[in-house]
Amino acid sequence: MFIIKTENLEKVYRTEEVQTKALNHVSLTVEQGEFVAIMGPSGCGKSTLLNLLGLLDEPDGGSLQLLGTETSRYSERQRAELRKRSLGFVFQSFNLIDELTVFENVELPLRYLGVGAAERRQRVEQVLEKMQLLHRRNHFPLQLSGGQQQRVAVARAVVNAPPLLLADEPTGNLDSASGHDVLGLLTELNEAGTTVLMVTHSEHDARYARRVIRLLDGQVVLEHSRSQF
């Protein structure tokens, strides 16, 4: 089953002076259970694509089916529900809540799902341990390094094991050891059934994916599976 299917997807950013076609007729499919890397040069439209797939923004043309339903049919309430229940998102800018501790940030998706306190605690501690952050559980985001904040963002996105995880440069601020931990966690999650789409600049990181989709100037230029590396 396709978890994502786009046909001729378009996104145009307009300001008073300029118009930028960030996505130009992007057609792609992702099957349930895949681990896909999205690559391409800076400005080619990777984050734009991820934002559309994550229902954070709306396309200007074409169609986007998510989990078997055309997304233009969703109401705003349904989009919000889907984001909470079915999507995990690792933002390039982390988007942590500064007023909440590390523990409270990571526990948020479980609160939305109504998971009880004891189970929340267990699941949050488990993922913080994997991200080597248990000792920082009572810190606030601004008391952490960039790499630590990034690992909190990853922990928050994966804590509820969403059906679809969208990760924008999840190792962008990390040294190779921490990057390895994050990629290991994404692999573990994928093996347990989560479909993973990861934007990356790194050929090394892309090797964790089973398929690579390359974008150039808002268009898909190449798709290849890991056996073709």
Ligand X SMILES: Nc1ncnc2c1ncn2[C@@H]1O[C@H](COP(=O)(O)OP(=O)(O)OP(=O)(O)O)[C@@H](O)[C@H]1O
What is the binding site for ligand X (CB under 6 A)? 13, 20, 22, 40, 42-48
> What's the min distance (Å) between Cβ of 44 and ligand X?
4
Query: Max alpha carbon distance in the chain (Å)?
Result: 54
Dist CA 66 CA 40 (whole Å): 23
Q: Which is nearer to ligand X, 40 or 62 (CB)?
A: 40
Q: Which is nearer to ligand X, 40 or 179 (CB)?
A: 40
Q: Which is nearer to ligand X, 187 or 219 (CB)?
A: 219
Q: Which is nearer to ligand X, 124 or 197 (CB)?
A: 197
> What's the min distance (Å) between Cβ of 45 and ligand X?
4
Question: Which residue intervals of 42-175 are DSSP H helices?
Answer: 46-53, 76-86, 102-112, 117-130, 146-158
> What's the min distance (Å) between Cβ of 73 and ligand X?
25
What letters, b where the CB count within 10 A reaches 16 and e where it falls short, cover 149-171? bbbbbbbbbbbbebbbbbbbbbb
> What's the min distance (Å) between Cβ of 212 and ligand X?
14
The residues pairing with 38 across neighbouring beta strands, listed in sequence order, are: 199, 213
Residue 156 is encoded by which pair of tokens? 């928050």
> What's the min distance (Å) between Cβ of 74 and ligand X?
22
Dist CA 168 CA 155 (whole Å): 14
Q: Which is nearer to ligand X, 48 or 195 (CB)?
A: 48
